[in-house]
Chains A and B, each alone.
Chain A
Amino acid sequence: ELKVEQNPLFLSMQEGKNYTIYCNYSTTSDRLYWYRQDPGKSLESLFVLLSNGAVKQEGRLMASLDTKARLSTLHITAAVHDLSATYFCAVGPGNFGNEKLTFGTGTRLTIIP
């Protein structure tokens, strides 16, 4: 059974600081997704990482994938308040057809002014 673990579960950080969220998964997969969820809202796709060494950046967020270590990171640079949300990583099974996603536990990020 595929397991996806994120850490930390909760992260409180000051504006302007940098931090990294980690996502480990238990089986071979080269499809890794990052989603953002605001309270009571849906899941917004942030990044899709499809190969070993993939790196994607959007604004203050950068995601990377190391399939050999089964690890993805989401790095936040110079955090601002509107990045406060819960961030989920999710792993696809490698079967392109079904693409059932297995989600991590989520990291609740709070940016303090």
Chain B
Amino acid sequence: EPEVTQTPSHQVTQMGQEVILRCVPISNHLYFYWYRQILGQKVEFLVSFYNNEISEKSEIFDDQFSVERPDGSNFTLKIRSTKLEDSAMYFCASRPGGRNIQYFGAGTRLSVL
């Protein structure tokens, strides 16, 4: 069964460093999302992406964040200058056109030291 793939599974970085989290959505899906979950808290929406542009973003998704779909298969989330409070599990999700269900990847645990 097709699945959303995220790499790496765990990323450790120093505060102020740039990180790129990678996702390969399911191949025929059209809508892409990033969510994050701080340890022990609920899942929060960051950004949605459709037709090669951001369709919606949350207040969390400030100028330090960016997304890109560079080659038609990968979907990346970049954090330019990480802060301690960016430590969280980041989930990528994708959805086909015409169906409501979002399929989530296994997540990348980001630890900012």
Contact = CB atoms under 8 A, between A and B. Distances in A.
Q: Is the interface of B mostly helix, strand, loop or mixed?
A: strand
Interface residues of A, number: 24
B100 A99 contact: yes
B42 A100 contact: no
Interface stretch (B14-22, B68-76, B79-87, B103-111): B103-111
A42 B101 contact: no
Interface in B30-58: 31, 33, 35, 41-45, 48, 50, 55-56, 58
Given A97-B55, A98-B55, A99-B95, A88 B43 contact: yes
- Which of B31, B43, B101 has the most CB atoms of chain A within a 10 A radius of its CB? B43
A33 B35 CA distance: 16
Nearest to B56: A98
Contacts of B58: 100
Given A42-B91, A43-B91, A98-B56, A104 B42 contact: yes
Nearest to B31: A99
B27 interface: no
B52 to A, nearest CB: 15
Q: Is the interface of A mostly helix, strand, loop or mixed?
A: loop
Contacts of A105: 41-42
B100 A100 contact: no
B66 interface: no
A104 B44 CA distance: 9
Interface in A41-79: 41-45, 48, 50
B100 A43 contact: no
Contacts of B41: 105
Interface in A1-59: 31, 33, 35, 41-45, 48, 50
Contacts of A103: 42-44
Contacts of B55: 97-98
A43 B103 CA distance: 8
Interface of B: 31, 33, 35, 41-45, 48, 50, 55-56, 58, 91, 95, 100-107
